[in-house]
């Protein structure tokens, strides 16, 4: 789960990570009162969307910049009005862009130098890794590609946590000394504590800055949490912004379905992520194109199958459905009953191919055959994929 910059910065403050003062609002009526809460201009006006590259982004009406430096509060008000409810396209949003529904006003900082700092999980060592660079404010992928020697990493042993010497080594390698050094060590230590205690998957600060008065501040904040750990953080779940998510994926999550929309025309309903992946592959192999990834999990109920069919059918590109179920824990007849009930309830008109295998498969096939519905049964995955590709062609 991702959160907005302003929410991430509120968490930063709670953990003692220094950030500039700021106020976020969701209506135009609150712009002026929000600006009044900040000390004197200059102010930076920041579009809040779940994507980076905002500063260099462009709005669909031609307005340039999702992050704007305003010399006066009057300028800030003008920028906020231009951004609000406007659609921002950045290198990370895709061409459709994202509608800006929250504006964050923040105090402008005097920047001496911009750095990069992130904490994430390193898949090779299976441990948290802190990544830092003296080249901040720019795309880190570009730095990694062109000057990899300017990026350094420290692996943290999760059993003992971040050690003082490791935080000092990072600050040292960033070339900091004096107050900057002391403040950077404090910031890195606090940021790691936040990463750890919130079960974050990633915390990225780009840029981290130094100011002429010795401060070290997080100027941007990108945070995402491990969904599997959210059950123990109700206060973080409350930060979820449904405006930033695909409505079909939100509906799917209510029924514990893992659904990802794709751009093909053959919908698939499968149990197990591995089988879902190979089902998409075999559709492609026989010349078709999958409309989604959908994993109904280990034990799909009739309600789940109906919900899954409904979600699948809201996609106007869908021209056929392939159900591919392996009855391991689940009984094939249960899924067959669910498929029949869902097809009836939704008066399904597009081709439906069902391939069942495993536990109680004979009864499942009988249920499908006796339903009187136009359901095409298949024996193998190859058979199923070929049938559905032919039917939608």
Residue 342 interacts with, from ligand ADP, Mg ion, none (CB under 5-8 Å by kind):
none
Tokens encoding 49 = 């969307």
Tokens encoding 351 = 């081709």
Is the CB of 204 or the CB of 357 nearer to ligand ADP? 204
Residue 364 interacts with, from Mg ion, ligand ADP, none (CB under 5-8 Å by kind):
none
User: Which residue do the tokens 């939704």 mark?
Assistant: 346
User: Which span (49-57, 173-181, 242-250, 274-282) binds ligand ADP, by CB under 6 A?
Assistant: 49-57
Give the interface size with Mg ion as a residue count (CB under 5 A).
2
Tokens encoding 295 = 């994993």
CB of 92 to Mg ion, least distance (A): 11
CB of 5 to Mg ion, least distance (A): 9
**115, 116, 117, 123: CA torsion to nearest 10:** -150
User: How many other β-carbons are positioned within 10 Å of the β-carbon of residue 36?
Assistant: 10
Please name the residue ranges forming H helices in the chain.
5-14, 31-37, 73-83, 140-146, 164-173, 178-197, 234-237, 247-254, 273-285, 302-313, 332-345, 361-370, 381-392
- 90 sits in the region (left: phi over 0; alpha: psi -120 to 50; else beta) called beta
> Which residues does 334 contact at the CB level (< 8 Å), separation at least 6?
300, 301, 302
Task: Give just the sign of the alpha carbon dihedral 183, 189, 162, 155.
Answer: negative
**Side-chain-side CA neighbours of residue 140 (13 Å):** 18
CB of 23 to ligand ADP, least distance (A): 12
Rule CB under 6 A: is residue 58 a binding residue for ligand ADP?
Answer: no
Annotated binding site for Mg(2+): 206, 220
244 is catalytic: no
CB of 220 to Mg ion, least distance (A): 4
204 is catalytic: yes
Rule CB under 5 A: is residue 183 a binding residue for Mg ion?
Answer: no
User: Which residue do the tokens 């704007």 mark?
Assistant: 68
Q: Which of 204, 244, 357, 376 is an active site residue? A: 204
Q: Which of 93, 106, 292, 386 binds ligand ADP (CB under 6 A)?
A: 106
What mask of x and - would describe binding to ligand ADP in positions 137 to 166, judged by CB under 6 A? Answer: x-----------------------------
Annotated binding site for substrate: 271, 328-330
Rule CB under 5 A: is residue 206 a binding residue for Mg ion?
Answer: yes
> Which residues does 24 contact at the CB level (< 8 Å), separation at least 6?
4, 6, 34, 48, 102, 103, 104, 105
Ranges within 212-241 binding Mg ion (CB under 5 A): 220
Is the CB of 88 or the CB of 270 nearer to ligand ADP? 88
**CB-based contact 392:265 (threshold 8 Å):** yes
Q: Which residues are catalytic?
A: 116, 204
Q: What residue ranges bind ligand ADP (CB under 6 A)? A: 20, 44, 52-55, 67, 106, 108-109, 111, 137, 206-207, 219-220
Q: What residue ranges bind Mg ion (CB under 5 A)? A: 206, 220
């Amino acid at each position: 789960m991702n959160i907005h910059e302003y929410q991430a910065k509120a968490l930063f403050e709670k953990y003692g990570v220094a950030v500039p003062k700021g106020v976020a609002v969701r209506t135009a009526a609150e712009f002026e009162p929000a600006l009044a809460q900040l000390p004197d201009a200059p102010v930076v006006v920041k579009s809040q969307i779940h994507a980076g590259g905002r500063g260099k982004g462009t709005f669909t009406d031609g307005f340039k910049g999702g992050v704007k430096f305003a010399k006066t509060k009057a300028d800030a008000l003008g920028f906020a009005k231009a951004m609000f409810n406007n659609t921002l396209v950045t290198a990370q949003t895709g061409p459709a862009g994202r509608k800006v529904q929250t504006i964050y006003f923040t105090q402008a900082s005097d920047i001496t130098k911009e750095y990069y700092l992130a904490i994430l999980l390193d898949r090779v060592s299976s441990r948290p890794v802190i990544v830092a660079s003296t080249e901040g404010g720019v795309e880190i992928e570009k730095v990694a590609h062109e000057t990899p020697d300017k990026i350094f990493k420290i692996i943290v042993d999760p059993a003992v946590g971040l050690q003082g010497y490791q935080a000092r080594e990072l600050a040292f390698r960033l070339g900091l000394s004096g107050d900057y050094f002391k403040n950077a060590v404090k910031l890195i230590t606090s940021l790691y504590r936040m990463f750890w205690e919130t079960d974050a998957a990633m915390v990225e600060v780009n840029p981290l800055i130094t100011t002429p008065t010795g401060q070290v501040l997080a100027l941007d904040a990108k945070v995402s949490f491990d969904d599997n750990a959210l059950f123990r953080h109700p206060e973080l779940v409350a930060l979820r912004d449904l405006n930033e998510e695909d409505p079909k994926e939100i509906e799917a999550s209510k029924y514990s379905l893992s659904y990802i929309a794709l751009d093909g025309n053959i919908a698939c309903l499968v149990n197990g992520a591995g089988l879902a992946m190979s089902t998409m592959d075999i559709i492609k192999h026989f010349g078709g194109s999958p409309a989604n990834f959908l994993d109904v999990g280990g034990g799909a109920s009739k309600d789940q199958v109906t919900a899954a069919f409904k979600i699948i059918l809201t996609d106007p590109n869908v021209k056929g459905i392939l159900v591919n179920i392996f009855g391991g824990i689940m009984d094939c007849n249960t899924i067959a009953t669910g498929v029949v009930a869902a097809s009836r309830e939704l008066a399904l008109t597009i081709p439906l191919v069902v391939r069942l295998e495993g536990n109680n498969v004979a009864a499942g096939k009988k249920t499908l055959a006796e339903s009187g519905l136009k359901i095409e049964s298949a024996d193998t995955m190859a058979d199923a994929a070929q049938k559905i590709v032919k039917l939608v062609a």
